[in-house]
Amino acid sequence: MKYFDTHAHYNDEKFKDNLDNVLEECKSVGVDKIVNIGYNTESSKKAIEMCDTYDYMYAAIGIHPSDVGKCTPQEIEEIYNNAKNKEKIVAIGEIGLDYYWVKDNKEAQIELFKEQIKLANKLKLPIAVHSRDASLDTYKVLKECPAKYGTLLHCFSPTDDLVRLVLENGYMVAFGGNITYNRAKSFATYMDMIPVSQIVIETDSPYLPPANLRGTVNTSKNLPIILEKLAEYKKMPVEELSKIVYRNSLEFFNIKE
Ligand SMILES: [Zn+2]
């Protein structure tokens, strides 16, 4: 089986000493494509650079809501314009809203989110969205300022608002290690409602390891665990599901094989 990690951070400091070993392990379980996601200017540049070294890697560039005020969308646009390998930049992300850590800068987060959606539309790229404890505002921003070339809700944790948004607008959702957590009761309720054509998988490496691996550095080699859990929820053979989510990923990021 082939696996496509739609959201990983191999541009993270954590991997600076052992990246090649980690990637060898990922390849050995069938990981075939990876999108490295930027979260500020530095990590976005790094994600682009890595595409030159690893032909199976792609980059998303953007500013995470936690970095609001530290980088500007103009800098992200410049990074795009200066990139020699523009065809490997497949999305603007991760962008969005995070009210879990900081709640007193909601306005600034919303503004940054909107500006980056506009940038994605200008560059004709889809967006990879981070939303934590902010589902209602995420819903509002995406309604008011829609991304024209595709929207992927990463580390999807369903709520009534977000599932309604996904179904109404045909957004893609990415499930990661969070679907293996015990407290993930709501997944069972919502999973039936989301068509398989709108689902991809991810790790959010090095974060969010599957339940039985908590406390370890998460890598794309754990994608089979996530896919298996998804297959259980969707009551589908793993092999059939793997082909569908792989194809969905290629289509979303507009990658030709
Ligand atoms: Zn992430």
Residue appearing with tokens 């679907």:
179
Q: Residue 198: what residue type?
A: Q
pLDDT at 76: 98
* SS percent in the chain: helix, strand, coil, step 5: 50, 20, 30
C-alpha dist (Å) from residue 158 to 40, 42, 214? 26, 31, 21
For ligand 1, the distance from its centroid to the CA atom of residue 172, given in whole angstroms, is 16
Q: Residue 255: what residue type?
A: I
**CA dihedral (43, 152, 18, 57) positive or negative:** negative
For ligand 1, the distance from its centroid to the CA atom of residue 204, given in whole angstroms, is 5
Give 184-220 pLDDT, tens digit per residue.
667 888 999 999 999 999 999 999 999 999 999 999 9
Residue appearing with tokens 């944790």:
157
By the CB criterion, residues less than 5 angstroms from ion ligand 1 are 204
Question: In sequence order, what are the residues at sequence separation of 6 or more whose Cβ sits closer than 8 angstroms to the Cβ of residue 173?
Answer: 152, 153, 156, 166, 194, 198, 199, 200
For ligand 1, the distance from its centroid to the CA atom of residue 190, given in whole angstroms, is 22
Rounded Cα gap, residues 99 and 91, in angstroms:
23
pLDDT at 8: 98
Flag whether pLDDT at 121 surpasses 90: yes
Rounded Cα gap, residues 92 and 38, in angstroms:
9
pLDDT at 67: 94
For ligand 1, the distance from its centroid to the CA atom of residue 38, given in whole angstroms, is 8
Which CATH number does the domain 3-253 belong to among 3.30.70.260, 3.40.1710.10, 3.20.20.140, 3.50.50.60? Answer: 3.20.20.140
The full set of domain ranges for the chain reads 3-253
**CA dihedral (125, 130, 135, 140) positive or negative:** negative
For ligand 1, the distance from its centroid to the CA atom of residue 91, given in whole angstroms, is 13
For ligand 1, the distance from its centroid to the CA atom of residue 8, given in whole angstroms, is 6
Report the percent of the chain where pLDDT is more than 70.
99
Compute, in degrees rounded to 10, the torsion defined by CA atoms 114, 119, 124, 126.
-50
Average pLDDT over residues 93-102: 93
C-alpha dist (Å) from residue 77 to 73, 86, 134, 140, 191? 6, 12, 26, 24, 36
Give 52-93 pLDDT, tens digit per residue.
999 999 999 999 999 999 999 999 999 999 999 999 999 999
Flag whether pLDDT at 183 surpasses 80: no
Question: In sequence order, what are the residues at sequence separation of 6 or more whose Cβ sits closer than 8 angstroms to the Cβ of residue 49?
Answer: none
For ligand 1, the distance from its centroid to the CA atom of residue 5, given in whole angstroms, is 12
Give 134-151 pLDDT, tens digit per residue.
989 999 999 999 999 999
Question: In sequence order, what are the residues at sequence separation of 6 or more whose Cβ sits closer than 8 angstroms to the Cβ of residue 248?
Answer: 172, 197, 198, 199, 200
pLDDT at 91: 98
Average pLDDT of the residues of the chain:
95
